[in-house]
Amino acid sequence: METHELTAHPAYPPLAVTSVTARIVSRDENWLRLRWRIEGSAKLVVPAFAGKGRADELWRTTCFELFLKPDGGTAYCEFNLSPSERWAAYDFSDRRDGMEDRPAPREPECTMRQGSSFAIFDAAIPSGALPERDCDAGLTCVLEEEGGIKSFWAIGHPQDQPDFHDPACFTARLVAPASA
């Protein structure tokens, strides 16, 4: 599947991170698999292991996000995935409106590996938590580095301030699996 180059919002430059790529690795009847690769990760702040479970406000530190807007409407969902293994899923009826917890039949799986100059974050979201139609997708992340420096990464940044909920950020595609 296609790899997307993410860019840091110019109002929040990173400290040492030089690039981030994100991609949808695969989708089958059980899982949607995603991968983010961070180059220049030596100063990256990685949240401590907390074990699986829902948690709000994961974006306040290093967090990886997926937005999915099914074709034919304004409603969309958001998944927040943390290296701590905490996660969140929300439904919105319209841009930043009508937020509710999105049900998931099982918890996502998240793993983070760090090399000497890069880090890889892999996530698997259970298919039962995903919309069943083709979707516009936004692949994003918030990266915290030493000293509390945060950068906001997305495929595009149409606003003066970071806003991952902007429909213009949903430029990737996730195709629904074919019916058997």
* CA neighbor of 37 nearest in space, from 17, 13, 20: 20
Please check whether residue 179 lies inside any domain of the structure.
no
Residue 149 in tokens: 């420096």
Please check whether residue 142 lies inside any domain of the structure.
yes
The count of structural domains within the chain is 1
Structure confidence by residue, pLDDT tens digits, 22-73: 999 999 999 999 999 999 999 999 999 999 999 999 999 999 999 999 998 8
For residue 148, which phi and psi values (nearest 5 degrees)? Answer: 75, 15
Q: What is the pTM of this model?
A: 0.96
Cα gap 106→149, rounded to integer Å: 33
| Per-residue confidence band for 179, with pLDDT thresholds at 50, 70 and 90 | low
pLDDT at 110 over 70: yes
What mean pLDDT do residues 86-94 have? 97
Average per-residue pLDDT for the chain:
95
SS3 160: coil
First to last CA, the chain: 21
Please check whether residue 77 lies inside any domain of the structure.
yes
Question: Which range marks the domain in which residue 140 is found?
Answer: 3-174
In angstroms, how far is CA 126 from the centroid of its own chain?
14
* CA neighbor of 141 nearest in space, from 8, 1, 4, 2: 8
Please check whether residue 180 lies inside any domain of the structure.
no
We report the CATH number of the domain holding residue 25 as 2.60.40.1190
| Per-residue confidence band for 178, with pLDDT thresholds at 50, 70 and 90 | confident
pLDDT at 130 over 80: yes
